[in-house]
Amino acid sequence: IPVENIRNFSIIAHVDHGKSTLADRLLEMTGAISQNCETSQVLDRLQVERERGITVKAQTASLRYRLNNNEYLLNLIDTPGHVDFSNEVSRSLAACQGVILLVDANQGVQAQTVANFYMAFGKDLVIIPVLNKIDLKNADPERVAEQLKSLFDMNEEDILKVSAKLGRGVEDVFKAIIERLPPPPVSRNAPFRALLFDSWYDRYQGAVVLVYVADGTVKLGDEIVSTHSGKSYEVKNLGLLRPHEEPVTKLLAGQVGYLTCNMRSTQEAHIGDTLHHNNVSVSVLPGFKPTSPMVFAGVYPMDQSQHVTLRSAIEKLVLNDSAVTVTIDSSPALGQGWRLGFLGLLHMEVFNQRLEQEYNAQAVITAPSVTYKAKIFGEKNLRLYGKEEITITNPVNFPDPSIVSEFFEPMVLGTIITPASLFYHTTSDFSFADKYLGPIMSLCMDRRGTQRSSCNIDNHNVMLQFLLPLNEIVVDFHDHLKSVSSGYASFDYEEYDYIPSKLVKLNVLLNGNIVEELSTVVHISKAASMGRRVCLKLKDIIPRQLFQIAIQAAVGGKIVARETVKAFRKDVTAKLYGGDVTRRMKLLNRQAEGKKRMKMIANINLPRETFIEVLKR
Ligand code: GTP
């Protein structure tokens, strides 16, 4: 297929606006998969994606489509929809000339729609606006089209209206892709170069990398070089994803396909790398901004006998998810483990779930912490740390405040879209006449947010922007936002900057022993309330044991909160259920089952989930 007949595109959308459904329809209509295929949403391969209904790994499919007697090759590059994975969205877009911006015709524009739009807009991509779910009774394509026009300056006649579920209007999507998108700007005669934009681990083939061939041709057996590492490899397998792997003997400029070449580790499959032929010099393709983890957590085996299993599972998963960073860590209570860096909390939860489902490894995950910075002073301390500004990714390493002149914490710029309306009395003063807006504003204030802007996006919806400390939103902000807005408000954020902040370390003590794994860093204004909440939470979570447990929260030497878990009597079941043996056995078995999920800390059995649950409000 000549380059002029190739189109590379992506579908971007807010969660649940129907991206996977549309992708399935495109696949069906090009015969890549059969209709009524039992496993719907073919591109969502991982079990966790099916369970949670979110796309985690970007997946790709090459589709053949005929229009006016011309055959086209349409490369669909799937992108994940959630904020935590926006780096994957950005990556996938590097291989595209255009995007389908899919918007639910009932829900309308949501926070991620805005973020995704600007990501594509910033890369100068052609944007095809598509309203989905027009079959729904409550769909209001006219209103949503108005939103697109007022927010993004779009033209009515460019907006397509489809039902991905019923396949209605989907032919127009193909037509728009072919007519509005340019072919990839590549040359087949130039020396080979390709952008490595994704990779995953395959048990049999090692690292499989996804490439976009930007120039020339690559063939089986070719000697290729990684610009990043300088290492050379022999090409072992090449193929298209349709979406199932279809081996080919060569990949041509403009195509997107997979390649294996005995790369063994994530470090080797460097996302954003330019691959080229040995002994040929080419200019490097624009790579990607390295993704920096925003949230760190310790991961430990349930018991040390599982250390090796867990290590190999983590290694394999990291091959599939290069956004995770790994360093070795150890903790007095939890033993040998790792400290992993994630893009956000959902990213962390998904990683944990994949560890369990795909590798059958059970792990204890400690309370997540964001990365703080501190400026230290005093000659001795400077020598000790080797620099003035230090980075703290683990509360355990929180420096003694007496040697710190200033702490800094990371902020994000959050966008919230919610049904509401703003009535402006004067330009500087406005009042809110709405049941969601008040609670949303209080939630953001309570999380130490400061409002940046607000505007109506139509008569019934408002977009708010807040500057928020990352540590306030990383755990359960999204859940709370959903609950105060009956599920209507949507949220997305982008990184902002570090700002000076009064931070303290909140220690948790169980029977007088500091449990580092439960300690967190908080803003000084939150220390007392957080301390009380953590103690109450722990009182709830920690099961009664044979002895009394004192739970305390402290800042420095000062106790800010205290709770007690009373001891329980040795044999509860004897009293309650007397002679009923089966009932008794059932209870005892359940208890034994429960114990497997417990971790002994300072002689106290803690459920595995404690470490994360403790931070939720
Ligand atoms: P993420 O992968 O989480 O970003 O979701 P998604 O955007 O891929 O959404 P998905 O395709 O999973 O669709 C979400 C829900 O909307 C599913 O229950 C679909 O059946 C439904 N849906 C998708 N398209 C349509 C449509 O055209 N009409 C109706 N009525 N429902 C649709």
* Residue 505 among known ligand-binding residues: no
Mean pLDDT of 155-166: 96
Phi, psi angles (nearest 5°) of residue 172: -65, -30
Render pLDDT for 16-53 as a digit per residue (tens, 0 to 9).
899 888 988 998 888 766 655 444 555 545 554 445 44
Task: Determine the atom of ligand 1 nearest the C-alpha atom of 168.
Answer: 27
pLDDT digits (tens, 9 = 90+) for 187-245: 899 999 999 887 777 777 778 888 999 999 999 999 999 998 899 999 999 999 887 78
Is 19 flagged in the annotation as binding?
A: yes
Question: Is 13 annotated to bind ligand?
Answer: yes
Which residue lies with its CA nearest to atom 29 of ligand 1? Answer: 133
Residues whose beta carbon lies within 6 Å of some atom of ligand 1: 13, 15-21, 41, 53-55, 81, 132-133, 135-136, 163-165
CA distances from 342 to 259, 290, 504 (A): 27, 13, 23
Check the annotation: does 595 bind a ligand. Answer: no
- Closest residue (by CA) to atom 16 of ligand 1? 18
Cα of 15 to ligand 1 centre, how many Å? 8
- Calculate what percentage of the chain has a pLDDT beyond 90: 39
Q: At what angle do helices 19-29 and 170-180 cross, to 10 degrees?
A: 80
Compute, in angstroms, the gap from residue 21 CA to the centroid of ligand 1.
5
Residue 393 has pLDDT above 60, yes or no: yes
163 CA closest ligand 1 atom index: 27
- pTM (predicted TM-score): 0.73
* Residue 100 is assigned to a ligand binding site: no
Across the range 286-305, mean pLDDT stands at 78
pLDDT for the residue 592: 57
58 pLDDT band, cuts 50/70/90, is very low
Q: Which atom of ligand 1 is nearest to the CA of 166?
A: 27
Beta-ladder partners of 131: 103, 161
Q: Among residues 216, 203, 8, which one has the least CA distance to residue 96?
A: 8
Helix (H, G, I), strand (E, B) or coil at 149: helix
The whole-angstrom separation of Cα 370 and Cα 496 is 14
- Position 54 scores a pLDDT of 42
- Tell me, in angstroms, the distance from the centre of ligand 1 to residue 396's CA: 43
* pLDDT recorded at residue 561: 93
396 in a known ligand binding site: no
- Report CA(615)–ligand 1 centroid distance (Å): 32
pLDDT digits (tens, 9 = 90+) for 594-609: 555 566 666 777 776 7
Strands 98-104 and 126-132: parallel
DSSP summary character for residue 51: H
- Residue 149: predicted pLDDT: 93
Residue nearest to atom 14 of ligand 1 (CA): 16
Q: Flag whether pLDDT at 347 surpasses 60.
A: yes
Kindly state the average pLDDT of the residues 324-338. 84
364: nearest Cα among 327, 337, 325, 396: 337
Q: Model confidence at 430, in pLDDT bands (50, 70, 90)? A: very low
Residue 17 CA, ligand 1 centroid: distance in Å = 5
**Residue 460 annotated as binding?**
no
Pick the range with the lowest mean pLDDT from 26-30, 332-336, 468-472: 332-336
Nearest CA to ligand 1 atom 4: 15
Q: Which residue has the higher pLDDT, 71 or 288?
A: 71
Give 546-594 pLDDT, tens digit per residue.
788 899 999 988 999 999 988 876 555 555 555 566 666 666 666 555 5
Nearest CA to ligand 1 atom 13: 18
Mode of pairing for the β-strands spanning 6-13 and 98-104: parallel
Residue nearest atom 5 in ligand 1 by C-alpha distance = 16
How far apart are alpha carbons 465 and 493 in whole angstroms? Answer: 9
Handedness of CA 44, 49, 53, 57 (dihedral sign): negative
Q: Is the peptide bond before 332 cis (omega within 30 degrees of 0)?
A: no
Q: Which of 20, 40, 82, 163 to mutate to test the pocket of ligand 1 (most atoms within 8 A of CB)?
A: 20
Residues 508-534 pLDDT 10s: 998 888 888 888 899 999 999 999 999
- Specify the residue with its C-alpha closest to ligand 1, atom 19: 18
